[in-house]
Amino acid sequence: MLSKYPDYRIINLDKLTYAGNLKNLVDVEKSPNYVFVKADICDARKIKSVFEEYQISDVIHLAAESHVDRSIEGPMEFVMTNVVGTVNLLQIAKDFWKGEDGHIFHHVSTDEVYGSLGDEGLFEETTAYDPRSPYSSSKASSDHFVRAFYHTYNFPIKISNCSNNYGSHQFPEKLIPLMINNIVKKKPLPIYGKGENIRDWLWVNDHASAIDTIFHKGRIGEAYNVGGLNEWTNIDLVKYLCRILDDKLGREKGENEKLITYVQDRAGHDMRYAIDASKIEKELNWKPSLEFEEGLDKTVDWYLENSDWIEEVTSGSYQDYYDKMYENR
């Protein structure tokens, strides 16, 4: 968006928690229309000062605690950032904009708020919420508050609910970068249960283009589901990654699959997510640009070419935390 809209001044506000990394921003940090602010969305005084100093006209709200495993270990952080932080942003934006026209608050959420699907069916924008984890419950609550501000105050909101993202720069607690990193290091590949849980995967660049499209063209008060239009079981995905990396790392066929280890299933593990993205395609003419296999190949190449980045973000407390967690399972 920095390059596409040079007339915009974009303020990137981030708390820089364990998954935050300013080195992810080296390609944009010198852009003349870019400003970085380190802040917590729960800090009302700081957020108010940012709105006043930079005269914030619109908000794209992606700030969240996002990893289900961590929400099971400690749900209160998720309540604070995802619920309290969201309401804080809503209230400050509402007070600052004073009901004026021309503003947008785009709230970015997840398909996990809908719960778990059976063998058939897709999540639609009208699907009833049925969150099963502390993470998805916190996101469902934030979605409800965003809608409440629209209905109660006529506040100008848009909501998007996306499927699992993958791509470059993803913190390696998530499935795909975790597996790539473990394969490279010949470490066990922990698979929850039997690995039969199904997810719809969305390339992060496509998600960024969807946010751009919804922000500029979506209707006020509406929600849009954003999906990659493909479903994979976890075990099939991991085996596919193993085969890709057998070839890219020059290993014998099947060598990486021997690293697969089945561990105790995650508590409340939803069986299947699948997005119906027909609304955003029909209304806004958006659809994914890449087939999953192509996006996955690009993603694997990025992690192989950026081993220093991986080493830096997986050092210390992160690696200890996950090694201990999987040992306990």
Mind telling me the catalytic residues?
Answer: 111-112, 135
What single letter denotes the amino acid at residue 292?
Answer: F
Three-state SS sequence of 107-149: EEEEHHHHCCCCCCCCECCCCCCCCCCHHHHHHHHHHHHHHHH
Helices and strands (DSSP H and E) totals, the chain: 12, 11
Beta-bridge partners for 107? 61, 159
What single letter denotes the amino acid at residue 222?
Answer: E
Could you give the CA distance from residue 3 to residue 27 in angstroms, rounded to a whole number? 11
- Packing angle of the helix pair 292-305, 175-184 (nearest 10 deg): 50
Q: Is 280 helix (H, G, I), strand (E, B) or coil?
A: helix
Residue 81, CA distances (Å) to 46, 73, 267, 286 in order:
15, 15, 22, 30
Could you give the CA distance from residue 106 to residue 282 in angstroms, rounded to a whole number? 20
Q: Is 198 helix (H, G, I), strand (E, B) or coil?
A: strand
Could you give the CA distance from residue 111 to residue 274 in angstroms, rounded to a whole number? 8
* The two structure tokens encoding residue 3: 């390059």
Cβ atoms of residues 188 and 248 within 8 Å = no
Scan for tokens 């609304």, then name that residue.
Answer: 279
* The two structure tokens encoding residue 160: 């998007």
Scan for tokens 């192989």, then name that residue.
Answer: 304
Of the candidates 225, 121, 82, the residue with the CA atom closest to the CA atom of residue 163: 225
Cβ atoms of residues 180 and 241 within 8 Å = yes
